[in-house]
Every structure is written in C-alpha cells, then in structure tokens.
C-alpha cells in the first residue's frame, strides 16, 4: 500500500546514478512525480524519458548543487511545473577518501561544498515553498560515517556528522510548518561513489572490501519510500542501515 507516495512531487539531487537514480525509479513506479537533478544532463534526461515512457511523471533539471541559485531554480521549476513540492531529497554527495596529511585540500572543499553546502542549498530552496504550503518533507543523506570515524575519511565524516546535526536542528525548527524531517544513514551500497577516490591504493582497498559486502541501491530506495509512505502525522526522523556483514 503506497497511497502516501502516489501523486507526491519529489525533488531528488544526485539522481544521475546510485542511490538517487534507484530512488527515482522506485518512487516513480509507485506513482510519485520525480524531479531529477544532477550535473550530468544526458543521464537525467535519459532517465526522465525512460520513466515517462513507462507511464511515470519525471522532469530532468540539470543542476550543480554547489550553486545556490541553480538549486533555487530547480525547486522553483518543480513548483512551477507541478504546483508544489512534497519531498526534497538532498542526496548528492561524494567521498574522495584520503588521509589528511596528503593535503588534498581541493577535495576537502568539494566535500564541504557538495555534501554540506549542497544540503543547505536544498533547504534554502525548498523551505519557503513548504512553509507556504504548510506541508513538506526533507530527506537528507548522511552515512554510517555520520555516526563513526573511518580510516582516511575525516573530512567526509565531518560533512556527514554535520548533515545529521543539520537534520535534527531542521526537525526542531520546522514543527510550526508541519514539515517532516528524515535523515538516512546508509552503510556500504553498490554505486559509483568509490570511483572518485583519487588515491589508487585507497580506492583499490576500499573497493576490495565494499564489493564483497555492498547491498544494491534499491535497498536505500525502499527506506526512502518507507519514510514518505508513513501517514502525514508520523515523522520518521532517522534511519541507519548497513549490510549485515559490515562492522
């Protein structure tokens, strides 16, 4: 029974691959309208075409989440096209693991800009609409690494701990507007996330470990669907999951 998913307008950042793409597919198949955002326009346009061809309702809006104005345009476009925004899924992120002493400061900046500021940009873009509607739902993506520190993951963990703090603060503040707030913290899921690790040795080691235990991206999509599908007076605040084999 997916009655609380059908008809909802869901904006998904990072919809061009991995968790975002899998979520777009699942929610679309359950009758949601999905607005797909990522930088790789050809990927989200192909996905939108595919979903529309299957009887779904999908719109691709090429977006760089580090650019506040682009994220505002994304959400405004969703509201202009479909009349409202029910869910803002702040999912775009990257994890270029490396020890601090390699001083990969460009990667530090990128993680802060995408994983942290990207979420803030999503909040800034969607909150005014949700306040006006007096309804809405933010779903932010943290990680198991938002709960504990991992090797070579200091900056990544810092951004994901921050996403949990932001989500809890947001939850407390948006009560008067009838807005729900969920933070989902996945463990190892098979996606393209490890492709952006620039240190070859760390990439190979991480892949060797993750490839053995990772669960499919659809696992995450089901968690999102669960949180959205709960009745409007139920606010699912935190979901933490991992492969059974993951420490």
Window of 48-56, 129-137, 181-189, 229-237 that interacts with ligand NDP by CB under 6 A: 181-189
Return the number of other C-beta atoms located less than 10 Å from residue 130's C-beta. Answer: 24
Binding flag, residue 19, ligand NDP (CB under 6 A) = yes
- Exactly one of 24, 27, 51, 65 binds ligand NDP (CB under 6 A); that residue is 65
**Least spacing, CB of residue 194 vs ligand NDP, in Å:** 8
Binding flag, residue 193, ligand NDP (CB under 6 A) = yes
**DSSP secondary structure letters along 43-55:** HHHHHHHHHHHTT
Cα–Cα–Cα angle for 138, 112, 242, nearest 5°? 60
CB-CB contact of 97 with 197 (8 Å):
yes
Q: How far apart are CA 54 and CA 193, in angstroms?
A: 28
CB-CB contact of 51 with 28 (8 Å):
yes
Of the two residues 39 and 77, which places its CB atom closer to ligand NDP in the complex? Answer: 39
Q: Restricting to residues 42-61, name those near ligand NDP by CB under 6 A.
A: none
Name the DSSP class of 236. -
- The mark string for 91-130 relative to ligand NDP (x by CB under 6 A, - otherwise) is xxxxx------------------xx---------------
Q: How far apart are CA 172 and CA 94, in angstroms?
A: 27
- The mark string for 141-180 relative to ligand NDP (x by CB under 6 A, - otherwise) is x-x-------------------------------------
Note if 82 is an active site residue.
Answer: no
């Amino acid at each position: 029974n997916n009655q609380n998913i059908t008809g909802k307008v869901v904006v998904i950042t990072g919809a061009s691959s991995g968790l975002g793409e899998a979520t777009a597919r699942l929610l679309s198949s359950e009758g949601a309208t999905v607005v797909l955002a990522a930088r790789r326009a050809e990927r989200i346009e192909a996905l939108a075409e595919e979903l529309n061809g299957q009887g779904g309702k999908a719109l691709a809006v090429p977006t760089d989440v580090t650019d506040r104005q682009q994220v505002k345009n994304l959400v405004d476009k969703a509201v202009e096209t479909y009349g409202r925004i029910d869910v803002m899924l702040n999912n775009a992120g990257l994890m270029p693991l490396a020890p601090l002493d390699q001083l990969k400061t460009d990667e530090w900046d990128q993680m802060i800009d995408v994983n942290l500021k990207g979420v803030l940009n999503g909040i800034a873009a969607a909150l005014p609409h949700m306040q006006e509607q007096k309804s809405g739902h933010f779903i932010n993506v943290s990680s198991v690494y938002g709960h504990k520190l991992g090797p070579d993951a200091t900056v990544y963990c810092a951004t994901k701990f921050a996403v949990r703090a932001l989500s809890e603060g947001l939850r407390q503040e948006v009560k008067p507007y009838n807005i729900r707030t969920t933070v989902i913290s996945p463990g190892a899921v098979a996606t393209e996330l490890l492709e952006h690790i620039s240190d070859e040795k760390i990439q190979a080691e991480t892949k060797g470990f993750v490839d053995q235990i990772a669960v499919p991206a659809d696992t995450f999509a089901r968690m999102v669907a669960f949180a959205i599908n709960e009745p409007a007076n139920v606010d699912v605040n935190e979901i933490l999951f991992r492969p059974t084999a993951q420490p």
